[in-house]
Amino acid sequence: MMNQFSRLNDMHMDVLKEIGNIGAAHAATALSTLLQKTIHMHVPSVELVPFEQIADTAGGEETLSAAVLLRIEGEAPGNMFFMIPAEEANELAGSMIGRSVDLTVEPMDPMGASAFNEVGNILAGSYLSSLADFTRLDLQPSPPAAACDMTMALLSSGLIESSQYGDYAIVINTKIEESGGTAASVHGYFFLLPDPESLDKIFQSLGVSLDE
């Protein structure tokens, strides 16, 4: 069932962790500049997560999150999420357009949504371009899309590709947080979900064989 994943050993996990490290470091810098705040990045985790537990990594199934999803196209396709709690997305988007925003209300406030989308786009874009530099793979982001809803419902949109191979996804998860974190400080997650077929490509590009 886990044929594509069962061959992963500690070294492979470390390589993927490094990818998360490089990508998120660039994105965190971009966010610091954007917010004029110091953003701290946690050590990325790389896990083979059963679908059941995937929402737990971002605060639980029914918590409200705002997410920007972009599809990675090119040599190593996959999905990339930038996800933050809904209230923080409201604050972030609100501070950008200078009035209060509630992204959870349908239909989504077009100005607010577009501001949040743009933040996600900048962050995911910088994550992805450093990933492409590091691996020397040709990777292009699709135009991003934003949504605000139950965490589980959002994340499941990124599982379609993985779900054809098994009940697990490889998740490269990096948590970012405002430094000196109070309860009100910004924190969010980057999720990189490579399509199972892309793992070979990523390892090859970095000179690591999947069968070692």
Partner 1 sequence: MNNIIKVGMADLQCAVPPSTLRTSGLGSCVGIIIYDALKKTAVMAHIMLPDSAMAKDRSFNRSKYADTAVEDMISCMKKKGSPLYSLKAKMAGGAQMFQFSSSSESMRIGPRNADAVRQLLRQHRIEIVFEDTGGSSGRTIEFDPSTSVLEIRTVNKGVVQV
Instruction: Catalog residues that contact partner 1 under the rule CB under 8 A.
Output: 1, 3, 51-52, 55, 61-62, 64, 69, 71, 104-106, 142-143, 145-157, 159-161, 163-167
Residue listed under structure tokens 């999803």:
69
Residue number, 21 or 156, with CB nearest to partner 1: 156
Residue number, 39 or 128, with CB nearest to partner 1: 128
Strands 64-74 and 139-141: antiparallel
Which residues lie below 8 Å from residue 82, measured CB to CB, with a gap of 6+? 27, 67, 68, 119, 120, 123, 124, 188, 189, 190
Alpha-carbon distance of 96 to 3, in angstroms, equals 46
The least CB distance from residue 53 to partner 1, in Å, is 9
Residue number, 28 or 168, with CB nearest to partner 1: 168
The least CB distance from residue 181 to partner 1, in Å, is 27
Whether 135 contacts 19, CB under 8 Å: yes
In sequence order, what are the beta bridge partners of 105? none
The least CB distance from residue 19 to partner 1, in Å, is 22
The least CB distance from residue 72 to partner 1, in Å, is 11
Residue number, 39 or 83, with CB nearest to partner 1: 83
